[in-house]
Structure formats: C-alpha cells, structure tokens
Amino acid sequence: MADDILTTKDVLGLIGCEYSTTAKIPAQIFSLNKLPYGSFCSTSPRLADKANFSFFWRPLPSAGGHISALFKFWNVRRYAIIYESDDDMASQYAKSIIYFMASSNIRLLASIGISSDISSEVVDYVYASIQQTNSRYIIISGQSNFQNQIYFDLAKKGLIGSQYVYVTYSASTAAIDETAHGDALFQKYPGLIKFFSPATNSSNPLYREFYNEALSIMGASKEEISFEWFVSKNLEPNFDAAMIMLLGFDKVMKSNPNYTPEMLASRTLNSYMNYTLFQNVSYNGLLVAPLILNSVGDLNLPYVVAYYSANQSLLKAFGQTDMFGTSFEYLPNLKPVFYGGSSSPPPDGPPIFSPTELILDIQTSSGVFLLSVLVIGILECTASIVFLYCFRHKATMKRTSIAFLTPTTIGSTIFCISIVFLYGEASVQKCILKVWFQILGYCLIIGSLIMKMNMSVQLL
C-alpha cells in the first residue's frame, strides 16, 4: 500500500483510519518520504514520537495524563494496570499512563500485560496479582472487547465490590454477550469509571453544512439519513482531519508568494509539511474551536469522566478534566456513584504510615539536648587537648603516649562537630559532610589505637 501511494505523484497527503498497530509502519514510511499523514483513528502514544513520525498528526487526544488528574483529585496514591500486551495502542497507552502516574507520585502496584486471548489460566494469574498487591484502583487498557472480557471474568471470580474501582477509557457493554455471561453479572457493572471525549456541539453551523454536503455526495435524502443519526456516528475527527490537511496546504502556499500550484502538485513543497505546519491553521473545528494541535501533533481536549449506573446502558457524566490533563473538577451538583452506592472514593489500600522528617533546631527539646551534647563534647575534647599540651613533659603523661592520645582526642572533636550537620532541614550536602566528618574522626581514633596496639605487641 505504501509503495503504491508513494509512486502515485498526485497524492500530496493522506487522511487515514487505521488501527495503531497497522498505522505505525506506513506512518514512519510516509514521514521518511515527507508525505503528511493525518489520522482520525490511530490513538497509540507511540505515534507521538516525532523523531520517527515527524509528518504524522491527528485531531485526537491522549488519555494518560487525564487519568492521573482524576486520581490526584481523589487522593489516590496506589493503583494497578491491566493491559492488552499484543495490541500496540493498549500497550503504549499503558506506558503513557504509568509515566504520568509516576510524574504525579502515584505508585504502581502491579503492571499486568496479557494477550487478547484470555484463558481461565490468565484470569487466575491476573486475579492472584491483584490480590497479592492488594490493589483497589484498577485501570484496564485495551480494545473494548478486551476491557469488557477481563472485567467480567474478574467479576465472576469475585474481584469486585465497594472497595474496588475499575477505570477504563473505552468500555462498551455492547461488546458483551449476555448469554455468555449471564444477566446477573450485568448487575455488577455499576460503578465502572469511563473516560471519553466530550460530545460535539451539533448546533455548530459547520456541522449542518457538513451534513448537507455529505447528503449531496451520497445522493441521499434527509428522510433516509436523519441529522441525529449522522451526528451519532461521531464523524467529527474525520471531517476535522480533512479540513486541517486542506488548510495546511493553503497555509504553505500563502507562506511565500513564489510558491505555485505546480510546485504543490509536484511535491516540491512537501519538505515544509511536517506536523508543525498543521498545528495551527486558524480553523474552528467540529471537535473544538479553535482547533490547535499540541507540541507532538495531538489534540489538546478535555475528557469527560462518567460512571455506569444501575442500568448498564446508562452512562452518567460527573466530572471533567482540563484540556491539558492537569486538573479535574466535578460537574455542578454531580458526584460519581461507586459499586454499592457510595459517592466517596474508597481507600486505595491500607493506610500508609510515612515517616515524618525530624528537623532539629533550638526551638525543639531534641535540638536543645543535641546542642548540649555537642557543646559539652567539644569543651571536653578541647580541655583534653589543652591538658595534654600543658603537661606533655610530665613523666606520667609521657607514659600514656601523647603522640597517640592527641590524634585520638582530635578525632573525638571532629566526631562531635559532625553533630552540627543534623540541624535544620536535611540536604545532600549536609549528609555528605556529616558522613565525611564521622569517617575522618573514626579513622583518627581507630588508626591511633591500632598503631599503639601494634607497638605494644612489638615490645612484647
């Protein structure tokens, strides 16, 4: 396919809808050959790598940072993730989610990659992994069928309840066969959290214009294809991708008065058509207005967060992230309903007892005590050194080996001085200095003792 497109000189750019696993090879080939490629289906974060896909872009958002924004809002600090390992989109999304979670200091308890062919042994393995890590918040990354299958298989094993929260970005009950899973199992579905892009404003005049033009091209009437049915097909990314591509061509032509349509048609201008050309083409799209792509050629778009109600077919939105996936807020007067009916996020596990940092200063009793030890120690060591110096000629003192007592006393003084670095807030520099002072003092003391013992052995 890629060879056919490249050898067809009339092709100036491509609009495609491929699975991410399929798109990654042609997207790289087209980038190497400087052929712009806009996708409205390929969502894998892998394709955001502009070192390999510099001519690839897409009017689609990524969910990784948005999930971490919700977890931060709920004060969730631990989670597990189950992902479809043989699906590029799912595995790359998992990597993206893990990255953003780590950036938010949210701890990964278990990363479980399994193939799309889910056997009973695989379910047992996932179940054991979740139980062993005591994971309560579980993200499922995969295609819709995979997400639903693993969710219901775990539900059948009892890994569901008010203490568990499952989060997904592409779940659909339509993919589940009721005869295979049983009607009773559907009652376990409420409380599942889903992320999805906000609904398009169908009152946008551009949408009606798009609809009328589509009817004209298809030769269909409004009775045959209603506007409501047309809107339900979620064609916004398709239309926006085509518009961005065309406006990008127009933009490059207007960037230099010497550029001609012949130059555009012969691909002479394609070297100027990497993803940065299409980042901002001054276009108010169906998805969002204005439609601006971010630094990796993806669309910044908020995510709506919803939960499945007691009726599994009813999805109820309760909150929304910002367009950059950095914050989350509830919609007015709305809260989620978790499994069991609670609106409060359950704990993410047993309480974490974090050690508190003890900062010593003269305002604390421990600091005053340590300061007293420091002063007394230094005074005693100083007095010992003065005493040794003043009475160094006395026969009694000479027999004690002043040459060995002096470095021992100096080492003790250095040991005492190391206490100074325990005061105030801890830092790497203080820690290093404290250790070096202690090592130096230790070496002086032990070195003197070893030398004296060695001399005593020789005399014997």
* Domain CATH for 119: 3.40.50.2300
Average pLDDT of span 194-207: 82
Is the domain of 191 the same as that of 326?
Answer: yes
Tokens encoding 2: 């890629």
Rg of the chain over CA atoms, in angstroms?
A: 34
Tokens encoding 392: 């160094």
Is the domain of 71 the same as that of 187?
Answer: yes
Residue 51 in any domain: the answer is: no
Is the domain of 77 the same as that of 137?
Answer: yes
Is the domain of 319 the same as that of 427?
Answer: no
Secondary structure element (H or E) that encloses residue 28, with its range: helix 20-32
Residue positions counted in the chain? 460
- Tell me, rounded to whole angstroms, the distance of Cα 118 from its chain centroid: 26
Is the domain of 99 the same as that of 181?
Answer: yes
Q: Dihedral, CA atoms, 178, 183, 186, 187, nearest 10 degrees?
A: 170
Residue 272 in any domain: the answer is: no
Summarised one tens digit per residue, pLDDT across range 45-74 is 888 888 889 999 888 877 778 899 999 999
Query: Band of the pLDDT at 355, cuts 50, 70, 90?
Result: low
Residues 421, 430: contact at Cβ < 8 Å?
Answer: yes
Report phi then psi at 18, rounded to 5: -130, 155
Residue 350 in any domain: the answer is: no
Residue 428 in any domain: the answer is: yes
For the chain, what is the domain count?
2
Tokens encoding 31: 């980038």
Residue 264 in any domain: the answer is: no
Residue 427 in any domain: the answer is: yes
Is the domain of 314 the same as that of 387?
Answer: no
Is the domain of 187 the same as that of 101?
Answer: yes
- For the sheet containing 137-141, what is the strand order? 107-114, 78-84, 137-141, 165-168, 193-196, 304-308, 315-321, 328-330
- Region of residue 256 (phi > 0: left; psi between -120 and 50: alpha; otherwise: beta): beta
Is the domain of 315 the same as that of 412?
Answer: no
Secondary structure element (H or E) that encloses residue 195, with its range: strand 193-196
Summarised one tens digit per residue, pLDDT across range 28-37 is 888 898 899 9
* pLDDT attached to residue 312: 52
Summarised one tens digit per residue, pLDDT across range 222-240 is 888 988 888 888 888 888 8
Is the domain of 311 the same as that of 425?
Answer: no
Other C-beta atoms within 10 Å of 38: how many? Answer: 27
Tokens encoding 329: 């807020």
* % of the chain exceeding 90 in pLDDT: 23
Range of the domain at 378: 365-459
Is the domain of 182 the same as that of 94?
Answer: yes
Residue 289 in any domain: the answer is: no
d(CA 2, CA 349) in angstroms, rounded, equals 50
Residue 442 in any domain: the answer is: yes
Residues 307, 338: contact at Cβ < 8 Å?
Answer: yes
DSSP E strand boundaries for 33-131? 37-39, 56-57, 78-84, 107-114
Is the domain of 307 the same as that of 406?
Answer: no
* % of the chain exceeding 70 in pLDDT: 91
Question: What's 293's DSSP letter?
Answer: B
Tokens encoding 275: 């993803």
Is the domain of 326 the same as that of 383?
Answer: no
pLDDT above 60 for 187 = no
